[in-house]
Structure 1
């Protein structure tokens, strides 16, 4: 069990969520944390490439995606907060950032392995968001 998941299980507000919701939320947080790291490392790797000018848009999307995922993780980890519909908007914003970042990275993924890793991490977030939203609708 990941530290994120452990923290959700012992959180005093956790009984308000069923096990499937906690699992989906934990998976989403873990995917977002992994995506943050992949995007930060990916942007730094792009800066070391000889064709850095060609990767300018990729770098910007990686930086933006890392920032959005970081903020989303922080907000989604606050189970005791009464955000109302804010978590949905945070998840949608993270999903959009990951979608755009993946779209920027995927075309160059064959040439730059670090871009493939970033695109795959973004895809994992999109999948975890879909699972989280499916659990929320039940």
Structure 2
């Protein structure tokens, strides 16, 4: 059990959430946190590569994804008994930003291992966001 899951289990609104919803939410939050870390480190790694001008777009995409993932994890962690429309909006934005970053990083994934890691983290967060959205 992760700390995220532990926190969601002891939250006062936990009885209002099914086990499947709690699992999907845990996966989305954990994936967002992991992606934020991978993107932050990936952008920093890109900046240490020689002649980085060709990596400018991927660095920006990684920075945007890291910021969005951090914000999404925080927002999704404050759920209470009625989410309202905010989580769906956040999850759509999270998926969109992660997709942009994944696409940018995949271009360089064969040449730079840190870009491969970033692309995989973005793919995971996109899948987790889509899974939570599908739960409706």
Spell out structure 1 runs of 4+ moving beyond 4 A. Answer: none
Q: Taking structure 1 as the reference length, what is the TM-score of the superposition?
A: 0.95
CA contact (8 A) 1:14 1:79 kept: no
CA distance in 2, matches of 1:132, 1:37: 21
How many angstroms does 1:135 deviate by?
Answer: 1.9
Matched, 1:37 2:37: yes
CA contact (8 A) 2:102 2:123 kept: yes
Please say if residues 11 and 79 of structure 1, whose CA atoms lie closer than 8 Å, have aligned partners that are also in contact.
no
What corresponds to 2:101 in structure 1? 101
Q: Which residue of 2 aligns with 1:118?
A: 118
- Deviation of 1:51 after TM superposition, in Å, equals 2.5
Write out per-residue CA displacement over residues 11-37 of structure 1, whole angstroms, 9 at most, x where no aligned residue.
001111100000000001000000000
Aligned residues: 136
Distance 1:23 1:130 in 2: 13
User: Any stretches of 5+ residues in structure 1 without a counterpart?
Assistant: none
TM-score (structure 2 length as normaliser):
0.96
Q: Return closer, same or farther for 1:59/1:81 CA change in 2, 3 Å cut-off.
A: farther
Query: Mapping of 1:36-115 within 5 angstroms?
Result: 36-80=36-80, 82-115=82-115
Computed over aligned residues only, the root mean square deviation of the Cα atoms, in angstroms, reads 1.1
8 Å CA contact retained: 1:39, 1:62: yes
Distance 2:115 2:21 in 1: 31
Answer yes or no: is the 8 Å Cα contact 2:95–2:130 preserved in 1: no
State the alpha-carbon separation in 2 of the partners of residues 33 and 81 from structure 1. 23
The separation in 1 between residues aligned to 2:8 and 2:132, in whole angstroms, is: 14
Distance (whole Å) between structure 2 residues aligned to residue 123 and residue 51 of structure 1: 27
Instruction: Give the drift of 1:83.
Output: 4.7
Residue aligning to 1:2: 2
